Amino acid sequence: MDFSLNFIKQFVDIKSSAQELAKLLTSAGLEIENLEKTADDWVFSAEVTTNRYDWLSIIGIAQEVAAVSGKKINLKYPRTKTTPKIEKKKIIINNLEDCPYYLGRTIKKTKVGQSPEWLKKLLINCKIASVNNIVDATNYCMLKWGNPLHAFDLDKIEGDICIRRAKDKENFIGIDQKQRTLTPENLVVADSKKVIALAGVMGAKNTEVTADTKNIFLEAAKFSPTTVRRSRRGVGLDTESSYRFERRVSELCLEYASGEAVDLILKLAKGEFGGYKKVGRKTEEKPKQITISLTKMKNYLGTDFRLPEVKKILNSLNCKVKKVSADKIKVKPALSRFDLAREVDVYEEFARIYGYNKIKAKLPFVIKDLKKNPVLDKEENSWKFKNKIRDFVALLGFSEIITYSMENRKELAIITKERGLSLRNPLRSQENSLRPRLSLGMIKSIKHNLNRGKEDLTFFEIADIYKKKSKNKVKESSFLSLGVTGDKERFFQLKGAVWEVLSYLNIKPAVSENTMASFSNSLELKAEGKIIGFMAKLDQKVKNKFGLKEDLFISELDLDLLEQLKKGKKFRSFSKFPAVWRDISLAIDKNIKFRKISKIIEEGSQYLSDLKIVDTYQGKNLPKDHFGFTLRLFYQSSQKTLNSDQVDIYHNQIREKLHDKKGIILR
Partner 1 sequence: MAEEIKNIKESFKKDLEKAENKDSLENLKVKYLGRKSKISQLFSNIPNLAKQERGHWGKELNILKNKISSAIKEKLSKEVQKEEKIDLTYPAKYPQKGSIHILSSVTKEICLIFKELGFNVIEGNEVEDEWHNFSALNIPLDHPSRDAFDTFYLDLDKKDKKSGSWLLRSHTSPSQIRIMQQVDPPLAVISPGRVYRPDVVDATHSFMFYQIEGFVVGQDISFSHLKGVLLYFARQFFSQEVQLRFRPHFFPFTEPSAEVDVSCVICSQKNKQKNKERCPVCKGKGWLEILGCGMIHPNVLEACNIDSKKYQGFAFGMGVDRIIMQKYQINDIRLFYENDKNFLKQFPL
What is the length of the chain? Answer: 667
Task: Name the residue among 109, 374, 102, 394 with its Cα closest to residue 255.
Answer: 102
Q: Are 44 and 132 in contact (CB under 8 A)?
A: no
Q: Which amino acid is at 495?
A: K
CA distance 503 to 498: 9
Q: Are 643 and 573 in contact (CB under 8 A)?
A: no
Q: What angle do CA 267, 271, 275 make, to 5 degrees?
A: 105
In whole angstroms, how far apart are CA 24 and each of 312, 314, 318, 348?
17, 17, 18, 16
**Does the protein bind partner 1 through residue 194 (CB under 8 A)?**
no
Stretch that binds partner 1, among 151-159, 449-457, 502-510, 566-574 (CB under 8 A): 449-457
Bridge pairing between strands 664-666 and 580-589: antiparallel
Could you say which residues in the range 23-82 bind partner 1, by CB under 8 A?
A: 26-29, 31, 49-52
Q: Quick one: CA dihedral 13, 16, 19, 23, positive or negative?
A: negative
CA distance 552 to 554: 6
Stretch that binds partner 1, among 180-188, 260-268, 470-478, 651-659 (CB under 8 A): 470-478
CA distance 351 to 35: 25
**Does the protein bind partner 1 through residue 508 (CB under 8 A)?**
no
**Does the protein bind partner 1 through residue 180 (CB under 8 A)?**
no
**Does the protein bind partner 1 through residue 564 (CB under 8 A)?**
no
**One residue of 92, 307, 474, 614 binding partner 1 per CB under 8 A:** 474
Choose between 142 and 406: whose C-beta lies nearer to partner 1.
406
**Does the protein bind partner 1 through residue 492 (CB under 8 A)?**
no
Peptide bond into 84 cis (omega under 30): yes
Choose between 444 and 566: whose C-beta lies nearer to partner 1.
444
φ/ψ (deg, to 5) at 492: -75, -20
Stretch that binds partner 1, among 135-143, 211-219, 472-480, 521-529 (CB under 8 A): 472-480
Q: Are 586 and 664 in contact (CB under 8 A)?
A: yes
Stretch that binds partner 1, among 225-233, 569-577, 581-589, 633-641 (CB under 8 A): 225-233
**One residue of 351, 494, 588, 633 binding partner 1 per CB under 8 A:** 351
**Does the protein bind partner 1 through residue 289 (CB under 8 A)?**
no
Choose between 280 and 426: whose C-beta lies nearer to partner 1.
426
**One residue of 92, 307, 324, 394 binding partner 1 per CB under 8 A:** 394
DSSP alpha helix (H) spans, 516-613: 540-545, 559-565, 594-604
**Does the protein bind partner 1 through residue 380 (CB under 8 A)?**
yes
**One residue of 89, 144, 150, 229 binding partner 1 per CB under 8 A:** 229
Q: What angle do CA 59, 62, 66 make, to 5 degrees?
A: 140
**One residue of 24, 264, 421, 557 binding partner 1 per CB under 8 A:** 421
**Does the protein bind partner 1 through residue 145 (CB under 8 A)?**
no
**One residue of 167, 230, 566, 632 binding partner 1 per CB under 8 A:** 230
CA distance 470 to 484: 35
**One residue of 306, 360, 576, 620 binding partner 1 per CB under 8 A:** 360
**Does the protein bind partner 1 through residue 379 (CB under 8 A)?**
yes
Choose between 284 and 589: whose C-beta lies nearer to partner 1.
284
How many of the chain's residues bind partner 1 (CB under 8 A)?
Answer: 93
**Does the protein bind partner 1 through residue 327 (CB under 8 A)?**
no
